[in-house]
Amino acid sequence: MKRVGVFVCWCGRNIAETVDIEALCRQLGRDAPVAWVEDYKYMCSEPGQQLMKKAIAEQHLDAVVVAACSPNMHEVTFRLAAEAAGLNPYRLEIANIREQCSWVHRDRDQATAKALDIVRSMVEKVARDEELQPLRVPVTKRALVIGAGISGMQAALEIADAGHEVLLVERQTYIGGHMAQLSETFPTLDCASCILTPRTAEVARHPRIKLMVASEVIEVGGYVGNFVVRIRQNPTYVDWSTCTGCMECVEKCPRQVPSRFERGLGTRKAISVAFPQAVPYRPSIDAEACLYFTKGRCGICQKTCPVGAVDYEQKPVIHEEKVGAIVVATGYELFPKARIGEYGYGKYPDVIDGLEFERLNSASGPTSGRIQRPSDGKVPKEVVFIQCVGSRDQEKGVPYCSKICCMYTAKHAMLYKHKVPDGQAYVFYMDVRAGGKGYEEFIQRAVEEDGVLYLRGRVSRIFPEGSKLMVWGVDTISGEKVEIAADLVVLAMAMVPSPTARDLARVLKVSIDEHGFFSEAHPKLRPVESLSRGIYLTGCAQAPKDIPEAVAQAGSAASKVLALFSSDELLHPPTVVRVDPEICSGCGLCVKSCPYEARQIDPVSKVARVREVLCQGCGACAAACPNGATQHINFTKEQLMSMIDTFTGPPDGAGRER
Amino acid sequence: MARGGNAEVIRARAATRSIPLDPGFPWEVGRASGQPVMRCFQCGRCTNGCPLTWAMDHPPHRLLRMVQLGAEGEVLVSRTIWLCSACHGCATRCPNDIHLPAVMDALKQMALARRVRVGDRQVALFHRLFLATVARLGRMYELGLIGLHKLASGNLFGDLKVGLLMFTRGKLSPLPQLIKGRGDLRAVWRRAAALRREGGRQ
């Protein structure tokens, strides 16, 4: 017979007012397995814990029930105290007589009777609890960062600088993400390339960062500390290890196509680098545009290459890598513009989106930074910027605020005025959301110093008239309708998750929200963790955010990875499931019921087994098991039945007394 | 548009009218008044505290928004700019430190300079006669000003009761009080007029 100690907490008046503590203790003291009962006003306080520790030692208790608040509050507190007193922490259980009893009842007698049942059921359980040791799992101190935009690069650099190897995987052929497309950045108007290129160069030469561009993560197995990742490296049709980056091939290539990087405003060759400052500075062939691939003739680049690096036979390569932690930094895209038909996007060449304006304004862009409208190359004198296009639009777009558009629109209008001082910029807005250091002042600068006219309202229609675009809107502040004959219209399109996010979420087995952004574990207290241990989130993959925030979140995600890598082993709770191979029939119901892939059928013995470090202790398989071969440790069928018996047995607990 | 503005404004062909935007106008008003009129974000505190909104055709905050949009035609004929009594309540309360009475003064001067239909003739007349009185005498001469205003406006018997009451209490002096150096004052006036001819009247 175990010697169980029961410690009843008053929780000030929270419990004591509704539950008769004295009667409860008296009753419990008569129960057979209970060797010691004590009560205290605040059991969680230091003196309360001391009292429990003393009793464990002096009374030689080998199991403890603390009747107090929810185990969510103080289970850890009391288990640590018990461990300090020499008791196995898994031999301590909490009987919740506050949230599940005193807080929800008024009648003192009935509440006391219920509290007695609750504590007794826990006494029954704890008397059958095993002594357990936490499971220990080794950690692979190597991180995978998916996406090499500013946020992913920052996370990779911080982890690598701390001394760990990082695998940085990027879908495009270059690193830097959308930031590489930007001209200047708010609210300082410093040039994006000037602050980005030192970072891309650092990533490229860092001895501990293994960079994989034109690559995608296609499969993730394993668990925290020990992920096994399969990465597909897509063919670039140029062997980058021999290529010297002389760009002879690009020069000779006869095929010109619209450049994706320039968002169609400029052209590139079928074999090309995305942009002149691209890292790595190596060309790749777009098979959809290349004459060799589409028509089967040409081959000029191969003949031109002085080192014979062009290889039309290149195939995708699958790499398998082991990592301990994963950072997701897949970034954003702009809302599909064709979906906002009333603004004529796609129909009128002079209606462009924000990223296109960035390229027009960029010194390395198709116009070398001169503001010229796409249709006829004229310098626009009247430019209309429209905010919230697709954002805050439940009808056609997304309901959320894309957060960065207010600021970049003010930046666009300002930069335009700096380049075309005799031009006029108009901004249609719904609200100006300029929360951030120096942000409101930036907006005011646009209004007061650069004369940007802000009009509150959403544009209803854009239609061409001669060489102009007529913009119909309203200024709701004055209540007046306004009509502007514009030369160029710039739409601040909503920010949506990267198109690859949905598939990646499936591969990673982490959840995404209704819009496709990765879900954080807690919106306030765990903003960079996913719900799966060892997988962290940063940048616009999680939600729309600007560069400073994306960088800050990257640092935060990196610090989570480093904390994980700071120990050689991870502890895993031992309250997992266990299989009795003698009973197991190998039916496989447990495999189907497990949401964590912790169950599998052993190919040799044909019985089920448990991958303990993956098991989260949910108990779904134990419930599904038809013959009881799978048992949840410390929640065995015997334990649960004995607990139920205390509730369904005689109310006065007859037969328990010694 | 005429001055400064770059907007090529075309009236909407929709049934309701649309406002002609003139982004140059607020900058003109800003220069003339010395006030950062573009800074206004329409909080409405000026209008909340204004004692005269009941008589105005546009409450002060809306007038300022019309200035920002460049609705010059409507702003300059507004009664509001003439009815403002310059109590400075709005200027004290404005979170953006815009001195609205100074803006109103600048708009009055622009309205006169551009010879638009004056929003409130009585007040404009009063302003002119007041300045004429001060220019001649160097000081205010209430009885003379009232007399002149009555003759010029044709409203001979308005406020007669109040006038008599003030007179019997000795609030209205029957004769004007003159200052020394009226010649110097006239020189100041001439100089101001010359400056106006040079700089003003864009």
Give per-residue pLDDT as tens, B177-192. Answer: 888 888 899 999 899 8
Confidence of residue A345 (pLDDT cuts 50, 70, 90): confident
A422 and B62 in contact by Cβ < 8 A? no
Residue A531: predicted pLDDT: 86
- Domain end marker among B71, B92, B113: B113
For the segment B72-95, the average pLDDT, to the nearest whole number, is: 94
Residues A95 and A180 reside in one and the same domain? no
Q: Is residue A473 helix, strand or coil?
A: strand
Residue A646 counted as domain residue: no
Q: Is residue A119 helix, strand or coil?
A: helix
For the segment A264-285, the average pLDDT, to the nearest whole number, is: 95
Separation of alpha carbons A271 and A264, rounded Å: 16
Domain that holds residue B91: 25-113
Cis peptide preceding B51, ω within 30 of 0? no
A485 and B10 in contact by Cβ < 8 A? yes
Residue A613: predicted pLDDT: 85
For the segment A577-590, the average pLDDT, to the nearest whole number, is: 94
Residues B161 and B90 reside in one and the same domain? no
A478 and B65 in contact by Cβ < 8 A? yes
DSSP secondary structure code for residue A8 in this structure: E
Residue B17: predicted pLDDT: 57
Chain A's closest residue to B43, CA to CA, is: A477
Residue B185 counted as domain residue: yes
Residue B12 counted as domain residue: no
Residues A207 and A272 reside in one and the same domain? no
Residues A289 and A218 reside in one and the same domain? no
* pLDDT tens column, A357-389: 999 999 999 999 999 999 999 999 999 999 999
Task: Please state the domain count of chain B.
Answer: 2
Contacts of B63 in chain A (CB under 8 A): none
Residue A310 counted as domain residue: no
A481 and B12 in contact by Cβ < 8 A? yes
Chain B's closest residue to A384, CA to CA, is: B7
pLDDT of B9 above 60: no
Quick check: B97 contacting A, CB < 8 Å? no
Residues A430 and A337 reside in one and the same domain? yes
Q: What is the pTM for the complete model shown?
A: 0.80
Quick check: B69 contacting A, CB < 8 Å? yes
Residue A576: predicted pLDDT: 95
pLDDT of A655 above 50: no
Residue B174: predicted pLDDT: 85
pLDDT of A254 above 70: yes
Domain that holds residue A586: 576-632
A483 and B11 in contact by Cβ < 8 A? yes
Both tokens of A215, joined, read 């690559």
* pLDDT tens column, A101-122: 999 999 999 999 999 999 999 9
A547 min Cα distance to partner chain B (Å):
27
A537 min Cα distance to partner chain B (Å):
38
Contacts of B14 in chain A (CB under 8 A): 472, 481
Residue B5 counted as domain residue: no
Residues A55 and A77 reside in one and the same domain? yes
Quick check: B17 contacting A, CB < 8 Å? yes
Residue closest to A167 by CA, chosen among A200, A142, A141: A142
Cis peptide preceding A603, ω within 30 of 0? no
- Domain end marker among A101, A134, A167: A134
Residues B100 and B131 reside in one and the same domain? no
A481 and B11 in contact by Cβ < 8 A? no
A424 and B6 in contact by Cβ < 8 A? yes
- Domain end marker among B87, B113, B139: B113
Separation of alpha carbons A596 and A115, rounded Å: 35
Contacts of A422 in chain B (CB under 8 A): 6
Residue B108 counted as domain residue: yes
* pLDDT tens column, B104-120: 999 999 999 898 998 88
Amino acid code (one letter) for A564: L
- Domain end marker among A74, A106, A134: A134
pLDDT of B199 above 90: no
Residues B29 and B90 reside in one and the same domain? yes
Cα-only R_g, chain B: 20
Residues B37 and B103 reside in one and the same domain? yes
Residue among A447, A468, A477 minimizing CB distance to B38: A447
Q: At what angle do helices B60-69 and B100-113 cross, to 10 degrees?
A: 60
Residue A645 counted as domain residue: no
B18 and A482 in contact by Cβ < 8 A? yes
Residue A641 counted as domain residue: no
Measured CA to CA in angstroms, residue A583 lies from A464, A577, A607, A626, B25 at distances of 78, 15, 9, 10, 89
Higher pLDDT, A266 or A337: A266
Residues B38 and B73 reside in one and the same domain? yes
Residue closest to A478 by CA, chosen among B9, B67, B51: B67
Quick check: B77 contacting A, CB < 8 Å? no
A445 min Cα distance to partner chain B (Å):
9
Residues B42 and B91 reside in one and the same domain? yes
Residue A652: predicted pLDDT: 55
Residue A648 counted as domain residue: no
Q: What is the share, in percent, of chain B residues with pLDDT greater than 90?
A: 49
Separation of alpha carbons A290 and A292, rounded Å: 5
Separation of alpha carbons A608 and A630, rounded Å: 9
Residues A422 and A544 reside in one and the same domain? no
A353 min Cα distance to partner chain B (Å):
22
Give the CATH number, domain containing residue A442. 3.50.50.60
Quick check: A472 contacting B, CB < 8 Å? yes
Residues B167 and B130 reside in one and the same domain? yes
Beta bridge mates, A572: A135
Residue B1 counted as domain residue: no
- Domain end marker among A496, A515, A539: A496
Residue A102 counted as domain residue: yes
Quick check: B12 contacting A, CB < 8 Å? yes
Residues A193 and A322 reside in one and the same domain? yes
Confidence of residue B154 (pLDDT cuts 50, 70, 90): confident
Residue B5: predicted pLDDT: 38
Residue A30 counted as domain residue: yes
Residues A293 and A351 reside in one and the same domain? no
Residue B11 counted as domain residue: no
Contacts of A382 in chain B (CB under 8 A): 6-8
Quick check: A382 contacting B, CB < 8 Å? yes
* pLDDT tens column, A502-549: 999 999 999 999 999 999 998 988 999 998 889 999 999 999 999 999
A495 min Cα distance to partner chain B (Å):
27
Quick check: B21 contacting A, CB < 8 Å? yes
* pLDDT tens column, A428-459: 999 999 999 999 999 999 999 999 999 999 99
Residues A285 and A421 reside in one and the same domain? no
Task: Please state the domain count of chain A.
Answer: 5
Chain B's closest residue to A465, CA to CA, is: B10
Mutate to test the interface with A, among B3, B13, B29, B41 (most CBs of A within 10 A): B41
pLDDT of A657 above 70: no
Quick check: A485 contacting B, CB < 8 Å? yes
pLDDT of B4 above 70: no
State chain A's mean pLDDT as an integer.
94
Residues A188 and A123 reside in one and the same domain? no
Contacts of B10 in chain A (CB under 8 A): 470, 483, 485
Residue among B10, B23, B69 minimizing CB distance to A475: B69
Residue B16 counted as domain residue: no
Tell me the CB-side half-sphere exposure of residue A213, using CA atoms within 13 A: 24
* pLDDT tens column, A616-631: 899 999 999 999 999 9
Quick check: A538 contacting B, CB < 8 Å? no
- Domain end marker among B61, B85, B113: B113
Residues A472 and A351 reside in one and the same domain? yes
Residue among B9, B17, B62 minimizing CB distance to A478: B62
B113-119: long-range contacts, CB 8 A cutoff, minimum separation 24: B113/B196, B113/B200, B113/B201, B114/B76, B116/B73, B116/B76, B116/B77, B117/B77, B118/B77, B118/B82, B119/B57, B119/B76, B119/B77, B119/B78, B119/B79, B119/B80, B119/B81, B119/B82
Chain B's closest residue to A424, CA to CA, is: B6
DSSP secondary structure code for residue A131 in this structure: P
Residues B137 and B179 reside in one and the same domain? yes
Q: How many CB pairs under 8 A join A and B?
A: 68
B46 min Cα distance to partner chain A (Å):
15
Separation of alpha carbons A373 and A442, rounded Å: 26
A422 and B68 in contact by Cβ < 8 A? no
A424 and B17 in contact by Cβ < 8 A? no
pLDDT of A310 above 70: yes
Residue A361: predicted pLDDT: 96
B6 and A451 in contact by Cβ < 8 A? no
Tell me the CB-side half-sphere exposure of residue A385, using CA atoms within 13 A: 29
Q: What is the share, in percent, of chain A residues with pLDDT greater than 90?
A: 88
DSSP secondary structure code for residue B3 in this structure: S
Q: Are A462 and A343 in contact (CB under 8 A)?
A: yes
Residue B102: predicted pLDDT: 97
Chain A's closest residue to B63, CA to CA, is: A478
ipTM score of complex? 0.75
Helices (H) and strands (E) in chain A, counts: 17, 34
Residues A409 and A394 reside in one and the same domain? yes
pLDDT of B2 above 50: no
A482 and B68 in contact by Cβ < 8 A? no
Residue among B8, B21, B42 minimizing CB distance to A482: B21
Residue B79 counted as domain residue: yes
Looking up tokens 């250091």, which residue turns up?
Answer: A437
Residue B200: predicted pLDDT: 52
